[in-house]
Each structure stands twice: as C-alpha cells, then as structure tokens.
Amino acid sequence: MRDGKAQDMALIKRAVDGDERAFRDVLDVHYMTIYRMAFRFCGNKPDAEDVTQMTCIKLAQNIGSYKEQSAFTTWLYTIVLNTARDWKRTQVRHDRGAVGLETVENTLPTTDNPEQRLETSQKMAAVYNLPEPEREIVWLVFGEGLTHKQVADIMGMAEGTISWRINEARKILKEGGKI
C-alpha cells in the first residue's frame, strides 16, 4: 500500500472513530470530489454547492457507519449520488429540461483551442441530457474513472447492467451524433 493511501486510510479510520479534526481533514481531501460529482449531477454551480453542502452534512452524520467493506470513495460516491437524487426530488420548481452548452462551461478543461472546447462542451451537454441512470453511470465511469464493478456497487446494480446501460448511452449519443 502506498504511503499516501495508507495515510488517507488512517485519517479516515480516525474520522470514523469520532476524531473531529480527522473528519475536517477528510473533508479537505475529498471536498472537490464531492463538488465535482454534485456539479455533474446538477449541471450548475448554485445547485451543486447546495448538494455539496448537504453531502458534507450527511457525511458528518454517517461517517461512523463507514465499514471498510468497500473503498471509501465508493462509499462517498454513494452518499453524493443519493444526496443529489434526494435534492432533485425536493425541487418542486426544478425543471431539468434540456441542458445547453452554457451549463457545462465551468466543467470544461482549459484549452486554447476553441474548436476542441466547443466539441467537448457539445459532448458534455449531450451527456447531461441522457436519461437517468445512464447519465449517472456515464459520469461515474468516464468522468470519475471508476470501474464497472465500482459503479455497480455504488448504484446497487449488477455489473452486467452497468455495461448494458453504458452501451445504451453510447447508442443514444451516437444517434444524436455526439460521439
């Protein structure tokens, strides 16, 4: 086990055991991952900030229940995803509708090539408009770099279902000319 990974696990264990300072350090380490996931789910900064804050609260309330049966990040992704879903259900006036290019602008990697930036933003807008859970699965596999097995654990689905849904997402994107 790498030194950094061992230190991260030791920090997480201390947080699970109730060490408040360790919990703050865990949040410092994982905050941007939480925000990035929330942003991908919500598609805009204000909603992503709300989901991120709600996730941090849930994390504080539930850190003691983390068992090392899965990777901490797998467990964390599950909390972010469930929080984002709960948030979405509570949005009475929230109409997701079609997501345009301006929604994805803040998620794009910095590049001086405007054509590459436009192509990337078009692809990301198409992913935002995929049906759930295909959109969530695509973000977890391609956005977060998780394996099909890890995503299956997070989503509570069979690994084969994850592969099938990715294939379905590819078909939808291909039909729309986005891949």
Burial class (CB in 10 A: 0-12, 13-18, 19+), 46: exposed
CB atoms inside a 10 Å sphere around CB 85:
15
The CA-based diameter of the chain, rounded to the nearest angstrom, is: 51
Task: Check residue 89 and give its pLDDT.
Answer: 83
| 106 phi/psi in degrees, rounded to 5 | -75, -10
Residue 131 falls in which region: left (phi positive, over 0), alpha (psi -120 to 50) or beta: beta
User: Tell me: the pLDDT tens digits for 45-67?
Assistant: 999 999 999 999 999 999 999 98
Q: How many CA atoms lie within 13 A of 63 on its CB side?
A: 21
Task: Check residue 94 and give its pLDDT.
Answer: 47
pTM: 0.70
Which residue numbers in the chain have pLDDT < 50?
1-2, 93-94, 96, 98-109
Q: What is the CATH number of domain 1-96?
A: 1.10.1740.10
